[in-house]
Chains A and B, each alone.
Chain A
Amino acid sequence: MNAVLQYAVQGLAAGSFYALAALGLAIIFGVLGVVNFAHGAFYMLGAVTAAVLLDTLALPLWWSLLVVPVLMFGFGVVVERLLVQWLLRLDPLYNFLLTFGLTLVLVELVKQRYGVSGLPYKLPGALSGRVDLAGVVLPRYQLFVFLFSVAICVLVWVVMTRTRVGMIVRASTEKPELARALGINVGRWVTPVFGFGVALAGLAGVLAAPFRAITADMGNNFAIILFAVVVIGGLGSIVGAVVAGFLVGLVEAFGQAYAPTFAQILIFVLMALIILVRPAGLFGRKEATA
């Protein structure tokens, strides 16, 4: 029982990274229709930026959780204005290729500047160590990661469903023509939404910094699993991305525990099953497949 609980928390912690990043990916896809292949690279940039800020300015994790997403938002805005926007009217494949190319460029730039063996990152004392919850010993940082990302996901959900901005974004996602007819300037929201999605990937990167190797390649494998997450949750579905993120984390953890050789394959088996049974994903709308 003890072990099972431990595996579950580890799965939820791993799932937190997937959920946050997939949330950004889903929002970008929803509003821009862009399959952002550079999401893994943005996640990597978040972690690298946090490590550099710690090294040069001694900026601790707490501040990085605030500062890095802001920087990444700015970076996302620049990328959207300079590159992505020009291809929005064309076949989605063009932006897919663009973001894929962008990934290669960003990864190589980080390699050139910071080498390949990775950057150090030290966890703040308050978050290191273990907590004892009724006999189950859990790493404090894993719990923090889980709770923090749940809070962010809830926050995003509230903004999306309870505020004017959120309603405009959702209207732009679901019925852009109608939204325009009602006098909403849909185009105005494209840039900030892209920036916001990038910021979420960066935030996942900051959370990963104390726990994962910070290297230029850290986003590569991550991005592949991320796409599985988004497909499982349903392309463009915000709730789906989050639920699927945690689900994939759990599948990974229990796979590692009970069938180590198949741990990673299980995620893709799950994806294949979902595609067979519900092609639009767990929370996807039927139109999403059209």
Chain B
Amino acid sequence: MRSKRIGAGASAMTAVLLLGACGGGGPGGSDGDFTEGKLVLAVLNDQSGIYKDASGPNSVKAVRMAVADYQKKYGDRAVVDEIEVTSTDHQNKPDIANSKASELYERGGADVILDVPTSSAALAVANQAKKHKRVFLDVSAATTELTGGQCNKYTFQWAYNTYMLANGTGTTVTENGGKNWQIIYPDYEFGQNMTRSFTEAIKKAGGTVQGTIPTPFPNDNFATFLTKAGSTNPDVIGTMQAGGDLINVVKQFNESGLKEKGIDLAVGLMLITDIHSLGVDQFAGTMFTDAWYWNMDAESRAWADRFRDETGTRPTFEHAGNYSAALQYLEAVQEAGTDDADAVVGKLEGKKINDVFLRNGEIRAKDHLVVHDAYLARVKKPSEVKEDWDYEEIVTTIPAAKAFPPAEASNCSL
């Protein structure tokens, strides 16, 4: 193509011209295949609420790391010089997510929206992506609907879904002898979805679900729910609570004496920030399914070290997922030579990927679910912890094909 210096000069000229023309003129010389001569990656997530630590501002930093790595890798050969990363707070509310997404695509010039935790908010953004024909790479929302009944051409689910969580934990714990289950779940879409997924997985593995108990959301008193769940003497109590509610459940479970009666606790969705905030001793021995762990191998660890230099903390799988999604998006743009969404989607579809986050990853063309290896993890005992955030031991790797539902089972038609 052209040399970097000319490119940069021309893009500066373009900027001046654009200013002069009040943004009316089309991009002239450099980066002609990019709207307004630049690429805009918009991170839309929870910047202040319950999912702030799990993803939040540090996911924006992870995306910036991906941009830096892309620029370092391609240098002069990069098809676009100016890459902007923006950050927007959706407060986990679907209505705010909906209007912010529309605004980002329409006026913010966003080429791609990233992250978006909270299933209902993510579904709203997926709708906007479809409407504006722009790319949406979801990392932090778990609903299977994103790549199921409500899938669309521009939406991808990058890190995990409820099937992966239920299949990993439900199946493995049942096969390891936890035949009889009681499930307590927060009584809203996510909890109900998780309970259905778990019940299916447990039955398939030869176990029984003795009962399911809905709980208010949010809630801080689970003592009696737990006593009631324990009254049928199950092998396992499965909790589908997340975040602060999960911490309430675990604290009160440990107090209840159910453990001494031989009843284990299985956790539906757990992030490393939950272990960190409650303390490793309270969770010791708990099994759960993880999409990625910062200390699972040398490559992950090296990236986690860089992440710590940037943020002062260790990454969750959602942080790593955002890095991966941004990086692979940039690679696809590089290949396509344009930010045109249809061209970029074409490059992403069916791509097989191995990066710091995705192992044996594949962007399924049929439903845009990104399948990859998942991990069954166990929380370490306090005596096994060797450094800060050293909380997980990977028990088994669940191969990509088993970790996610088969493509044939998907009811998505793009």
A interface vs B, CB < 8 Å?
Answer: 3, 6-7, 10-11, 13-14, 108, 111, 115-123, 128-130, 137, 139, 141-142, 210-213, 215, 217-218, 221-222, 252-254, 256-257, 260-261, 263-264
Contacts and interface: CB of A to CB of B under 8 A. Distances in A.
Given A120-B278, A139-B255, A115 B227 contact: no
Given A10-B227, A260-B225, A117 B53 contact: yes
A115 B251 contact: no
Nearest to B223: A10
A7 B215 CA distance: 16
B255 A141 contact: yes
Contacts of A14: 221, 223
A115 B223 contact: no
B224 A10 contact: yes
Given A221-B219, A260-B213, A260-B214, A111 B52 contact: yes
B367 to A, nearest CB: 32
Given A122-B279, A253-B224, 9 more contacts: A11-B224, A117-B53, A117-B274, A142-B223, A215-B247, A217-B244, A218-B220, A222-B220, A264-B216
- Chain B interface category by residue count: 35 or more
Contacts of B51: 116
B220 A137 contact: no
Contact of B257 (A7, A11, A137, A256): A137
A118 B227 contact: no
Contacts of B390: none
Contacts of B255: 123, 128, 139, 141-142, 211
Contact of A116 (B53, B225, B231, B256): B53
Contacts of A141: 255
A118 B278 contact: yes
B65 interface: no
Contacts of B219: 221, 264
B257 A130 contact: yes
27 contacts: A3-B227, A10-B227, A11-B224, A13-B223, A14-B221, A111-B48, A115-B277, A116-B48, A116-B52, A117-B273, A117-B277, A118-B247, A118-B278, A122-B281, A129-B257, A139-B255, A211-B252, A212-B220, A212-B248, A213-B278, A215-B247, A254-B224, A256-B224, A256-B228, A257-B224, A260-B214, A260-B215
Interface in B268-294: 273-274, 276-279, 281-282
B52 A139 contact: no
Contacts of A11: 224
A122 B196 CA distance: 34
Contact of B277 (A118, A210, A257, A261): A118
B76 interface: no
Nearest to A9: B223
B211 to A, nearest CB: 10
Interface string B246-263: 011001100111001000
Given A141-B255, A213-B247, A215-B244, A117 B220 contact: no
Interface of B: 48-54, 187, 213-216, 218-221, 223-225, 227-228, 231, 243-245, 247-248, 251-252, 255-257, 260, 273-274, 276-279, 281-282
Nearest to B257: A130
Contacts of A137: 257
Contact of B52 (A115, A120, A142): A115
Contacts of A120: 277-279, 282
Q: Which 8 A-B pairs have the closest CB atoms?
A: A120-B279, A213-B247, A256-B224, A118-B277, A117-B277, A10-B223, A117-B53, A213-B244
A245 B248 CA distance: 20
Given A122-B281, A130-B257, A116 B50 contact: yes
Contacts of B282: 120
Contacts of B48: 108, 111, 116
B281 A221 contact: no
A218 B247 CA distance: 11
A165 to B, nearest CB: 34
Given A221-B220, A253-B224, A257-B224, A213 B251 contact: yes
Contacts of A3: 227-228, 231
Of B213, B215, B255, B260, the most chain A CB neighbours within 10 A belong to B255
A141 B243 CA distance: 24
Contacts of A213: 220, 244-245, 247-248, 251, 278
A264 B243 CA distance: 20
Nearest to B244: A213
A115 B279 contact: no
A81 B252 CA distance: 39
Contacts of B49: 116
A57 B215 CA distance: 37
Contacts of B213: 260
A256 B53 contact: no
Contacts of B54: 117
Contacts of B252: 211
Contacts of B225: 256, 260
Contact of A117 (B214, B243, B248): B243
A263 B216 contact: yes
Contact of B227 (A7, A111, A128): A7
Contacts of B228: 3, 256-257, 260
A252 B222 CA distance: 10
Nearest to A2: B231
A222 B248 CA distance: 13
Nearest to B46: A116
A261 B248 CA distance: 18
B242 to A, nearest CB: 11
Nearest to B56: A116
A139 B247 contact: no
A222 B224 CA distance: 17
A212 B223 contact: no
A237 B89 CA distance: 43
Nearest to B256: A139
Given A117-B243, A122-B281, A139-B255, A253 B220 contact: no
A22 B250 CA distance: 27
A199 to B, nearest CB: 21
Nearest to A263: B216
B281 A261 contact: no
A123 B251 CA distance: 10
A213 B256 CA distance: 16
Contacts of A211: 251-252, 255
